[in-house]
Structure 1
Amino acid sequence: MTLALDPTAQDLLFREAHTAYTFSDEPVSDEQIRAVYELVKYAPTAFNQSPLRITLFRSPEARSRLVKHMSEGNKPKTSTAPLTAVLSVDLEFHERLPELLPHAPSVKDTFFSEAEARESAGTFNATLQAGYFIVGVRAAGLAAGPMSGFDRHGVDKEFFGDGRQKSLLVVNIGRPGEEAYKPRLPRLTYEDAVTTV
């Protein structure tokens, strides 16, 4: 195989990485999360729109407000992880486009003037960025526990009451704890997933 990334890094980011279900009590610092963001912000989005927003939950009060919106199976994990992030889409991401695309400032009005088109584009690209974020967490030597099992409407009402953001994913972050991983499930083969035309 001809991959530029060395095998150890490949294992860290992909082959040996798993969704974590338990975490140690070792804290996750702001510096670690900043390093993750400073890496993954360079990954591509359409028109460089960068619609992902990351809300970090550290305080016990904020954590308890979030936990009540998690599905039953996700409540214990979210209660005990060193850090939890809600990844959301900023539905008004287009307001920042003139600074992100200084060579083409009219793209804000040309492509994203309609709210429905803006939400669709923003959600798609923020979801891409959520994947980059998870890989970035792994690159920092941390484990990620992404979860879709939560009441999105409840989270949005609780934390994004102005309607500007919509939650996409909740991610627990930290060092893996005891029995953190379940056995790896199968993946599709190259032949099953790739077609040449």
Structure 2
Amino acid sequence: MTTNETLVLDTAAQDLLFREARTANTFTDEPVTDEQIQAIYDLVKYAPTAFNQQPLRVVLVRSAESRARLVEQMADGNKAKTGTAPLVAILAADNEFHEELPTQLPHFPQAKDMFFSEREVREGSALFNGALQVGYFILGVRAAGLAAGPMTGFDAAGINKEFFGDGEHSVLAVVNIGKPGDDAWFPRSPRLAYDEVVTTV
């Protein structure tokens, strides 16, 4: 039995989400609709986080004026592709995510009080769980038959100021989204082998 056959997910889905999926650097002109993004979010919102917290916030950059403001905050190597992608999403962590938690969390009744009272704990949790949700969001984009171009090369303080003026959000990633264009992929970098990563104790 091959590695592929030991997984419940069929080989085509494995390839779509992982083996054949790549970070796209060019895109076609085909638009990405709000309905597609809603379908992506409605899938990935069920992915696990600590205490079921959901700090991820998504800003879809559609207007020319907003796109120009964003491009100014991107690293030089990311400006052109961010300026031309069919859709760009800014993914951020809401540091006040605890306000959306249920009043009582059944298995962790002390969790909300902890997040209310300890800002450092809350911001660390928002960062970690928001980053998890970024990964889920990228998989959701792939599941929709689209390509994602996630980037962290930007002026974070500048993006926070331009798009999150309340001071309560922290940008995590900027993701270009669309159908891959010509020469969209860089050569795939090597991955570590199983025995280089996994140990048993």
CA distance in structure 2 between the aligned counterparts of 1:125 and 1:75, rounded to whole angstroms: 28
Q: 2:76 aligns with which of 64, 69, 72?
A: 72
Fraction of identical pairs, as percent = 66
SS of 2:58's equivalent in the other structure is strand
Deviation at 1:43, TM superposition (A): 0.4
1:85 lines up with 2:85 in the alignment: no
State the 1:107 CA deviation. Answer: 2.5
Which is further off, 99-108 or 13-22?
Answer: 99-108
Distance 2:104 2:162 in 1: 30
> 1 CA distance for matches of 2:12 and 2:107?
39
- Asked if 1:24 is matched to 2:28, the reply is yes
Gapped regions of structure 2 (runs ≥ 5) = none
Asked if 2 retains the 8 angstrom alpha-carbon contact of 1:55 and 1:86, the reply is: yes
Aligned residues: 197
TM-score normalised over the length of structure 2: 0.94
Q: 1:5 to 1:70 in 2, by over 3 A?
A: same
Partner of 1:195: 199
| 1:18-74 C-alpha deviation (Å, 9 max, x unpaired) | 000000000000000000000000000000011111110011011001000000010
> Residue 37 of structure 1 aligns with which residue?
41
Cα RMSD after superposing both structures: 1.4
Structure 1 length as normaliser, TM-score?
0.96
Q: Secondary structure at the match of 1:50?
A: coil
Work out the CA distance in 2 between the residues paired with 1:32 and 1:98.
28
Structure 1 residue 101: Cα displacement:
3.8
Deviates more, 1:157-166 or 1:109-118: 109-118
- Measure how far apart 1:98 and its partner are: 1.6
1:139 aligned onto 2:130: no
Measure how far apart 1:161 and its partner are.
Answer: 1.1
User: Residue 51 in 1 paired to residue 55 in 2?
Assistant: yes
- Alpha-carbon distance between aligned partners in 2 of 1:99 and 1:138, rounded to the nearest angstrom: 34
**Which runs of 5 or more structure 1 residues have no equivalent in the other structure?**
none
Of 150, 159, 162, the match for 2:163: 159
